[in-house]
Structure 1
Amino acid sequence: MIGSSSLLTIQDAIRIGKTKKYEIKNSIESEVKKMEDNVKILGDNGMLGMEFNQRTIRVYNTEGNVMELLSTKEQVQEAIDYLKECQKEMK
């Protein structure tokens, strides 16, 4: 027979388990939100994705493979300049 002190221990374990589960869930949701904030899907069909992570911009194709990695200011500036040229041509 389980004594009342053992029962409290089991109840405490269940409570602690639920608390940890809640903390883990919140942590995962927080990380997913950070990723969503750093990802931009481009094109009408989402044919291109870009992610900013720390000091790197990754460009993804539809399969999720990295097509290009821009890790220097010069590379990023080159991409920005090219997009500005495209924007001017479209006006």
Structure 2
Amino acid sequence: MTVFLLLYLCADASRTDCQVVKADSWNGPYAYEQCTDVVPSLTEALTAPNRKRHRFVCEIQRDVAKPADHKAQPAFIHKSYRM
């Protein structure tokens, strides 16, 4: 299993306009725990106003074997929308 630490950089506290940046990654059976262990200290390092706007998220990506003819999909830029 691979876990990515993602930083959501948002324009305001409503978090409706965010860019996602990969900050780090871990591999192995304890990858998620390693990621979640660093989130509190990284969040605490943000200034108070930035803690309201930005956030760190650990996202699991299962290691799945892909056929040799698999073609990579274009990168997807995540946007958060609220109705």
TM-score after normalising by structure 2: 0.24
Larger proportion of helix: 1
Structure with the greater alpha carbon radius of gyration? 1
Taking CA–CA contacts closer than 8 Å with sequence separation of 6 or more, which of the two structures ends up with the larger relative contact order? 2
